[in-house]
Structure 1
Amino acid sequence: MTDKSIASPHAVHQLYQYRKSLSIKPFGARGKKLIRCDLCLLGVQFCTCHLRRTLNSTLSFMLIMYDDEVLKPTNSGRLIADLIPDTHAFLWNRTEPAQEMLALLESDLYQPYLIFPEQYIENDQSVIRQITNENLSNKRPLLVMLDGSWREAIKMYRKSPYLQKMPVLSFAPEMLATYALRKGSHEFQLGTAEVAALAIEAAGERLNGVVLQKWFDLFVESSLLGRNRRAKETLTPIIEFEMQYKNALQAAK
């Protein structure tokens, strides 16, 4: 883990700027009048960029994002790239997939795993619950995530043959249910970053998974404050979430 805050753009930030350049009108997100940080997309008064730290990790991520998903301030995929240095991000295209993306999936350096629910697998792809050295053949794990709504993710999977050629990392339903019980009831439940935290733990980096979960928790509370959806006196002070995140970072050193 680095000891300095990281304020430079990463792969998801770069994809955000690219997708934004393709838009002919501003993206009409909820809370569009809120003045947001250009990087974390939180309200400037709740910006968390100064707290960002990259983790020491042997894992890599690939985010394949559905159309305007990268433009949404509520998207949590960017939180993965905040912490995991070797993160790649691409827009999904049914007919013309990015050649750079396909090259990464075929690279001798990586062993890709699609993170996807087992019940939606439609062919004989192998399904695993954990990533071990025996699975890797001296390659670096590349965790592939389909970033969008569940309906969009299923469409991406079914319309993309290259996603149907790799092993699938899937979590048992009881594990997801137990995980969800640890969370309050909110619309971010089991977002992309939360699933990524589970995947990181399944790959043997438990403490890094905890850091990502705490980073997500801070993101959720900061987002809710920016929206002013709940009375501020009912919110746990944001400083508590900052401290939980910092403590997790310290433990992961």
Structure 2
Amino acid sequence: MLALPSELQHAVHHLYQYRKSISTKPFAARGMKLIRCQWCLLGEIFCTCQHREYINTQAHFMLVMYDDEVLKPTNSGRLIADIVPNTSAYLWSRTEPSKEMVEAINNPKYQPMLIFPAKYAEPNQAVISHVSQCKNTSDGKIPLLILLDGSWRQAIKMFRKSPYLHNLPLLSFTPETLASYELRKGSHDFQLSTAEVAALAFEAVDEPLNSQVLTAWFELFVESSLLGRNRRLKEDIIPIETYIDKYKQAIINASLD
């Protein structure tokens, strides 16, 4: 099993270990018999940890995760923490929100904004489509991009029952933006995975090359996950090395920008 250096262990790794420590029984995920890497949660023979690298970005991300979401091998929120060094992660609680999380949201060095569809905005809640529309970011504040990580139903519940989020600007993407996005979608256009939404957020902070890095990292994750489910190899399946090479090239492109 890969021994991951401490500098590459991130907030989601730590939250995963904490959530496991308070569990009363093992988490029964699909494919639970698969021997998994303890860091990326992919099958050991498809582990991607050796390939990941941190990127340079002006944005900070915050993941607010629904209960056992952090335990799911299919969770894509961890992919953000894999490549964005300034990523924090907290378990959501309706009655006892993390004090550290709330303090970060209220920290004057940040301009926090919640990435969420405009249709759910509270009365008088600002809705923006680009980070520059928050005047405080032009004053040198760091964009803090907050993502509610769970199923769509869980995300709606988290938003509605978290009053501390209702005064934040909503960073919301237009139907045209969503329709042009080429990765997998849910049953509705706005139901993207957490990592896919974060890739769109990079576009909203004018970092398209970082968006491409996260997109390539997500694609590698999807293919590695499918291979770990014993998907039969066929002649028309693109070799996993192709996805690794695409990700590495995206990293090079972003570093040269």
Q: Which bracket does the TM-score occupy, shorter chain normalised?
A: over 0.9
- Secondary structure of the 1:204 match is coil
Q: How do residues 31-50 of structure 1 correspond to structure 2 at under 5 angstroms?
A: 31-50=31-50
Q: 2:144 aligns with which of 124, 142, 145?
A: 142
Counterpart-to-counterpart distance in 2, 1:124 and 1:84:
32
Task: Say if 2:6 is the partner of 1:28.
Answer: no
Counterpart-to-counterpart distance in 1, 2:158 and 2:35:
33
- Structure 2 partner of 1:109: 109
- Secondary structure of the 2:30 match is coil
- Secondary structure of the 2:168 match is coil
Give 1:214 deviation, angstroms: 0.4
CA offsets, 1:61-99, max 9 Å, x none? 000000000000000000000111110000000000000
Identity among equivalent pairs (%):
60
Alpha carbons of structure 1 residues 214 and 6: separation in structure 2 relative to 1, 3 Å? farther
- Structure 2 partner of 1:247: 249
CA offsets, 1:95-151, max 9 Å, x none? 000000000000011110100011111321111111127441211000000000110
What amino acid sits opposite 1:250 in the alignment? Answer: I
- Preserved CA contact (<8 Å) 2:185 2:192: no
- Secondary structure of the 1:24 match is coil
What amino acid sits opposite 2:158 in the alignment? Answer: M
- Structure 2 partner of 1:119: 119
Counterpart-to-counterpart distance in 1, 2:238 and 2:168:
42
- Structure 2 partner of 1:131: 131
Q: How do residues 92-103 of structure 1 correspond to structure 2 at under 5 angstroms?
A: 92-103=92-103
What amino acid sits opposite 2:175 in the alignment? Answer: P
- Preserved CA contact (<8 Å) 1:76 1:216: yes
What amino acid sits opposite 1:65 in the alignment? Answer: M
Counterpart-to-counterpart distance in 2, 1:30 and 1:120:
32
What amino acid sits opposite 2:242 in the alignment? Answer: E
- Preserved CA contact (<8 Å) 1:43 1:223: yes
Structure 2 segments unaligned to the other structure (5+ residues): none
Give 1:9 deviation, angstroms: 1.4
Counterpart-to-counterpart distance in 1, 2:33 and 2:234:
19
Please identify, of 36-45 and 227-236, the stretch whose mean Cα deviation from structure 2 is larger.
Answer: 227-236
Counterpart-to-counterpart distance in 1, 2:20 and 2:123:
36
- Preserved CA contact (<8 Å) 1:129 1:169: yes
What amino acid sits opposite 2:222 in the alignment? Answer: V
TM-score by length of 2: 0.91
- Structure 2 partner of 1:72: 72
Counterpart-to-counterpart distance in 1, 2:117 and 2:154:
14
Counterpart-to-counterpart distance in 1, 2:127 and 2:185:
30
- Structure 1 partner of 2:206: 204
- Preserved CA contact (<8 Å) 1:7 1:50: no
What amino acid sits opposite 1:90 in the alignment? Answer: Y
Q: 1:174 aligns with which of 165, 173, 176?
A: 176
CA offsets, 1:7-46, max 9 Å, x none? 7310000000000111111100000000000000000000
* Aligned residues between the structures: 246
Counterpart-to-counterpart distance in 2, 1:131 and 1:149:
25
